[in-house]
A and B are shown apart, each in its own frame.
Chain A
Amino acid sequence: MSAANNATLVVEDLYTAYDKADVLEGVSLAAEAGRITCLLGSNGSGKTTLIRSILGLTRPNRGRIAFADAEITGLPPHKIVARGIACIPEGRKVFPKLTVEENLRLGAYQEASGQVVAERIEEAYEAFPQLRERRDQLAGTMSGGEQAMVSIGRGLMSAPKLLLIDEPSLGLAPLLVKQNFDIIRRINERGITVFLVEQNVRQTLEVAHYGYVLSKGRVVAGGRADELAATQEVHEAYFG
Chain B
Amino acid sequence: MDVGLFGQYVMNGLMLGMMYALVAVGFTLFFGVLDVINFAHGDSLMVGAFTGLATYLGLRELGVVWPAVQVPVVLAAATAAMAVAGALIARYLVLPLKSAPALNTLLITLMLGTVLRESIRLFYPAGANPKPFPALLPAGAVELGNFSLRADNMLMLSAGLVVIVAVHLVINRTKLGLAIRAVAQDEETARTMGIDFTRIVLVTFAIGSALAAFAGIMNGLYYNEINFGIGLLLGVIGFSSAIIGGLGNIYGAIIGGFLFAALQTIGAVALPFASAYKDVFAFAVVILIMAIRPTGLLSEKVSERV
Chain B 292-305 interface 0/1 with A at a Cβ cutoff of 8 Å (1 = within)? 00000000100111
Of the A-B pairs whose beta carbons lie under 8 Å apart in the complex, a sample of 21, sorted by A's number, is A76-B191, A76-B196, A77-B197, A78-B197, A81-B193, A82-B194, A86-B192, A93-B189, A95-B181, A95-B189, A97-B185, A97-B306, A98-B178, A98-B182, A98-B185, A102-B178, A105-B178, A106-B178, A106-B182, A106-B195, A109-B195
Q: Is the CB of B304 within 8 A of A78?
A: no
Chain B residues in 8 Å Cβ range of A95:
181-182, 185-186, 189-190
Chain B 175-191 interface 0/1 with A at a Cβ cutoff of 8 Å (1 = within)? 10011011001101111
Given A57-B188, A89-B189, A93-B186, A81-B194 contact (CB < 8 Å): yes
Interchain CA distance A55-B195 in the complex, whole Å: 12
Chain B residues in 8 Å Cβ range of A96:
185, 303-304
Chain A residues in 8 Å Cβ range of B304:
96-97, 140
Given A57-B188, A96-B304, A78-B195 contact (CB < 8 Å): yes
Q: Is the CB of A57 within 8 A of B193?
A: no
Closest to A77 in B: B191
Compute the total of residue contacts between A and B using a CB distance below 8 Å. Answer: 67
Q: Is the CB of B191 within 8 A of A57?
A: yes
Contact of B194 among A78, A93, A102, A140 (CB under 8 A): A78
Q: In the complex, given contacts A78-B195, A96-B304, A98-B185, what are 5 additional A-B residue pairs having Cβ atoms less than 8 angstroms apart?
A: A78-B197, A95-B182, A97-B305, A105-B178, A106-B195
Tell me whether A87 is interfacial, beta carbon within 8 Å: yes
Tell me whether A153 is interfacial, beta carbon within 8 Å: no
Closest to B195 in A: A109
Chain B residues in 8 Å Cβ range of A231:
none
Chain A residues in 8 Å Cβ range of B182:
95, 98, 106
Within 8 A of A (CB), among B263-306: 300, 303-306
Chain A residues in 8 Å Cβ range of B198:
76
Most interface-central of B175, B182, B193 (chain A CB within 10 A): B193
Tell me whether A8 is interfacial, beta carbon within 8 Å: no
Chain B residues in 8 Å Cβ range of A86:
192
Closest to A151 in B: B189
Interchain CA distance A33-B209 in the complex, whole Å: 47
A80 to chain B, nearest CB (A): 9
Interchain CA distance A57-B198 in the complex, whole Å: 13
Q: Is the CB of B185 within 8 A of A109?
A: no
Within 8 A of B (CB), among A93-121: 93, 95-98, 102, 105-107, 109-110
A198 to chain B, nearest CB (A): 19
B76 to chain A, nearest CB (A): 28
Tell me whether A158 is interfacial, beta carbon within 8 Å: yes
A98 to chain B, nearest CB (A): 6
Chain A residues in 8 Å Cβ range of B175:
109
Closest to B305 in A: A97
Counting chain A residues whose Cβ lies within 8 A of the other chain, the interface size class is: 20 to 34
Q: Is the CB of A57 within 8 A of B192?
A: yes
Instruction: Enumerate chain A interface residues (CB-CB to B < 8 A).
Output: 55-57, 76-78, 81-82, 86-87, 89, 93, 95-98, 102, 105-107, 109-110, 140, 154, 158
B179 to chain A, nearest CB (A): 7
Closest to B179 in A: A109
Q: Is the CB of B192 within 8 A of A87?
A: yes
Closest to B306 in A: A97
Closest to B194 in A: A81
Q: Is the CB of B197 within 8 A of A97?
A: no
Chain B residues in 8 Å Cβ range of A57:
188, 191-192
Interchain CA distance A37-B162 in the complex, whole Å: 54
Interchain CA distance A78-B189 in the complex, whole Å: 11
A67 to chain B, nearest CB (A): 15
Closest to A111 in B: B194
Q: Is the CB of A106 within 8 A of B196?
A: no
Interchain CA distance A89-B304 in the complex, whole Å: 19
Q: Is the CB of A89 within 8 A of B194?
A: no
Contact of A81 among B179, B188, B192 (CB under 8 A): B192
Chain B residues in 8 Å Cβ range of A109:
175, 179, 193-195
Interchain CA distance A87-B189 in the complex, whole Å: 9
A-B pairs, top 8 by smallest CB distance, nearest first, are A81-B194, A77-B191, A110-B194, A93-B189, A78-B196, A97-B304, A106-B193, A109-B194
B185 to chain A, nearest CB (A): 5
Chain B residues in 8 Å Cβ range of A93:
186, 189
Given A97-B304, A98-B181, A55-B194 contact (CB < 8 Å): no
Chain A residues in 8 Å Cβ range of B189:
89, 93, 95
B88 to chain A, nearest CB (A): 20
Interchain CA distance A98-B186 in the complex, whole Å: 11
Chain A residues in 8 Å Cβ range of B195:
78, 106, 109
Chain B residues in 8 Å Cβ range of A98:
178, 181-182, 185
Chain A residues in 8 Å Cβ range of B185:
95-98
Interchain CA distance A132-B305 in the complex, whole Å: 25
Contact of A89 among B192, B196, B306 (CB under 8 A): B192
Chain A residues in 8 Å Cβ range of B179:
106, 109
